[in-house]
A = this chain, B = another copy of it.
Amino acid sequence: MTFVFNERDGCGKCPIRHRAICARCDADELVRLEGLKSYKTIEAGQTIIWRGDDLSHFSSLVSGIASLSRTLEDGRTQMVGLLLPSDFIGRPGRDVVEFDVTAVTDVTLCRFDRKPFEQLVDEIPHVSQRMMEMALDELDAARDWMVLLGRKTAREKIATFLEMIVRRDQTPVHSGGQHVLPLTREEIANFLGLTLETVSRQLSVMKKDGIVAFSDRRHFAITDLEALHAATGDDADGGMII
């Protein structure tokens, strides 16, 4: 981590201050939020909330990566979303979650008790406006992902995934074009609707094709950005939102 988050700093120094649900809030509104919040950290691999659990808190992801997923009776798992810093967990007007939320890396949450938070949402339009904006962005992203899951080949899925990782990578300095792959092969497979073997095979093919180069299992660089995009199956301008 190049960046260390310090819980004692106020909202003003919060790394997600300008992208989270509080993005539009003014100083007064921030003070109100400040009085309600508390932090919680979760270790990589731990489940944050199980599907069907009571939603006692509403949270913003401050640092780390979490996943949203569902598992069918027989164990087949599908990831339905990746939560990055500034994304929120929970929703007003519903008291249970529909998906399992799991910490992919170590995670820090900024939490609010549900009841007071819901009241606050009604009273501070800046919060509800921002939440709607974020919900609609997520909806577009989810629909983009549906196209991938329903119609793309394994190769196209991998290419689209890598392109998304690169686009969303917020590493301050893209150190020599190196990017971190935050997921294991199995997690990638569950995200793309594939098996881990197919993910591994397709990554090998793209290595051989000179599109991507791995320095180790978790670090890669794109060596041919155009070829990567051509392999996604998307048209020139069309891009994923997520």
Q: A residues near B, CB below 8 A?
A: 68, 70, 72-74, 76-78, 80-81, 91-94, 98-99, 122, 125, 128-129, 131-133, 135-136, 138-140, 142-147, 149-152, 192-193, 233-235, 241
Contacts and interface: CB of A to CB of B under 8 A. Distances in A.
Contacts of A193: 149-151
Contacts of A235: 72-73
Q: How many copies does the complex hold?
A: 2
B72 A234 contact: yes
B147 A145 contact: no
A73 B146 contact: no
Contacts of A150: 78, 149, 192-193
Given A68-B143, A80-B146, A135-B135, 14 more contacts: A73-B233, A73-B234, A78-B146, A78-B147, A81-B143, A93-B133, A93-B136, A94-B136, A98-B140, A128-B132, A132-B135, A135-B136, A145-B146, A146-B146
Contacts of A143: 68, 70, 80-81, 98-99, 142
A151 B125 CA distance: 39
22 contacts: A68-B143, A70-B144, A72-B152, A72-B233, A73-B233, A73-B234, A74-B233, A76-B233, A78-B151, A80-B143, A80-B147, A81-B143, A94-B136, A98-B140, A122-B129, A128-B129, A135-B135, A135-B136, A139-B142, A146-B146, A149-B149, A151-B193
